[in-house]
């Protein structure tokens, strides 16, 4: 069987879907000696060993060609390659396939429907126009958490009998690691609280800063707050909040940090804090746990599926609850140690081999 992945995420993204596409392909190739894997992407890049690569380039002079080719040149390339199954990790397609080709769509979240204010207009329009048809045509839908699957089934009931939740795996390069030079590079001093992810409204960072203010006032401690990640859209309000903070000199925006340096930031923090309003999975929580960080995260969406009993939880609208947890983790070393140890144990449950085995089981049964 020839199994094709539409892998544009390898070339145009650097966060969750990029990681998912890369790791699931690597893991599938590693465990499956019977089927052939085809990677369809926009340009040559880091190769997936053991998979065939087909380049379907984007023409920069044709407006919207990146998406347009999902209807035209990519389906033609898939037919020419003799694909039996096509998997779209970005949930946008596949389109215009011959009827005998099986379709699997991977859905990471439903935020364009559930939190439309956190998406640009074009994204909201595309999803509302195309998502119902994409899900109807799919022979199977894989979601990255059970919570996301339930969200999907509630909005699109016809997906109930053709959907499977398959949790993601952990990157084994994320493990406890200490290096004072990395902290020095980013002007970080211990102790510090850490957030990792895109800086955007859905991540609820204004509540984190409010909780940090309360923590500083009540504790008298001078912990830094480190916000690591690229600046997303609608960031002006967050930047203004930071600028007006009486502790602005201790709120550090590192920008993008290379993946090989992230384990150091996770490992050496007082606690990793992830206050997101909604996550389809929440990879940073798993990364932090893999490095033995005590994790504090919001008690919503899929995050309890990832954090299990290892994480500490708060209601995302409550800066007071979050500040109390920040105080507890700093004032109670035993609590911190317990959650650090529990985090390492919880992370061990997530492997890409498990994810690939469950995914392959879906592929062979459709």
Q: What is the Cα–Cα distance from 40 to 124, expressed in whole angstroms?
A: 26
In sequence order, the β-bridge partners of residue 313 are 297
pLDDT in tens, 295-341: 999 999 999 999 999 999 999 999 999 999 999 999 999 999 999 99
Q: What angle, rounded to 10 degrees, do the helices at 352-365 and 16-31 form?
A: 70
Residue-level pLDDT at 36: 97
pTM of the complete model? 0.92
Phi, psi angle pair for 136, to nearest 5°: -65, -40
What DSSP element (H or E) covers 226? strand 224-228
Residue 94 pLDDT exceeds 80: no
Domains in the chain with CATH codes: 2-169+351-365 (3.40.50.2000), 180-347 (3.40.50.2000)
- Across 29-60, b (16+ Cβ under 10 Å) vs e yields beebeeebbbbbbbeeeeebeebeebebebee
Residue 284's nearest CA partner among 181, 203, 186, 189 is: 203
pLDDT in tens, 56-89: 999 988 888 888 888 999 999 999 999 999 999 9
Distances (CA, A) of 13 to 16, 243, 284: 8, 29, 16
Phi, psi angle pair for 264, to nearest 5°: -65, -45
Sign of CA dihedral 104, 20, 198, 203: positive
Give me the mean pLDDT over the 160-183 stretch: 96
The region of weakest confidence among 92-106, 145-159, 168-182, 295-309 is: 92-106
Residue-level pLDDT at 124: 81
Residue 101 pLDDT exceeds 90: yes
The region of weakest confidence among 94-108, 259-273, 320-334, 349-363 is: 94-108
Residue 245 pLDDT exceeds 90: yes
For residue 138, name the pLDDT band (cuts at 50, 70, 90): very high
Judge contact between 362 and 164, C-beta under 8 A.
yes
Residue 126 pLDDT exceeds 90: no
Residue 301's nearest CA partner among 167, 70, 147, 185 is: 147
**Using CA atoms in the order 131, 133, 138, 142, what is the torsion angle rounded to 10 degrees?**
20
For residue 117, name the pLDDT band (cuts at 50, 70, 90): confident
């Amino acid at each position: 069987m020839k199994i094709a992945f539409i892998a544009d995420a390898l070339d145009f993204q650097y966060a969750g879907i990029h990681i998912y596409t890369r790791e699931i392909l690597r893991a599938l190739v590693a465990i499956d000696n019977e089927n052939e894997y085809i990677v369809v992407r926009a340009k040559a890049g880091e190769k997936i060993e053991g998979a065939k690569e087909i380049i379907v380039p984007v023409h920069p002079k044709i407006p919207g060609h990146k998406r347009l080719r999902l209807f035209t040149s990519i389906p033609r390339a898939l037919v020419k390659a003799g694909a039996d199954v096509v998997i779209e990790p970005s949930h946008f397609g596949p389109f215009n396939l011959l009827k005998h080709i099986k379709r699997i769509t991977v859905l990471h979240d439903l935020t364009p429907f559930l939190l439309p204010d956190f998406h640009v207009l074009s994204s909201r329009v595309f999803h509302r126009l195309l998502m119902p048809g994409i899900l109807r045509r799919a022979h199977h839908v894989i979601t990255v958490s059970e919570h996301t699957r339930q969200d999907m089934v509630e909005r699109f009931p016809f997906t109930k009998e053709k959907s499977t939740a398959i949790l993601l795996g952990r990157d084994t390069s994320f493990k406890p690691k200490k290096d004072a030079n990395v902290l020095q590079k980013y002007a970080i001093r211990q102790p510090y609280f850490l957030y990792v992810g895109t800086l955007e409204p859905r991540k609820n960072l204004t509540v984190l800063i409010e909780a940090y203010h309360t923590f500083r006032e009540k504790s008298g401690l001078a912990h830094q707050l480190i916000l690591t990640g690229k600046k997303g859209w609608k960031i002006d309000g967050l930047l203004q909040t930071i600028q007006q903070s009486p502790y602005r000199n201790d709120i550090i925006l590192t920008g993008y940090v290379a993946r090989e340096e992230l384990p150091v930031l996770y490992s050496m923090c007082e606690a990793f804090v992830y206050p997101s309003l909604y996550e389809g999975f929440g990879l940073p929580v798993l990364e932090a746990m893999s490095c033995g960080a005590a994790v504090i995260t919001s008690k919503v969406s899929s995050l309890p599926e990832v954090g299990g009993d290892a994480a500490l939880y708060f209601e995302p609208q409550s800066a007071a609850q979050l500040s109390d947890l920040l105080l507890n983790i700093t004032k109670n070393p035993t609590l911190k140690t317990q959650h650090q140890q529990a985090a390492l144990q919880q992370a061990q449950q997530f492997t890409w081999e498990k994810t690939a085995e469950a995914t392959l089981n879906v592929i062979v049964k459709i």
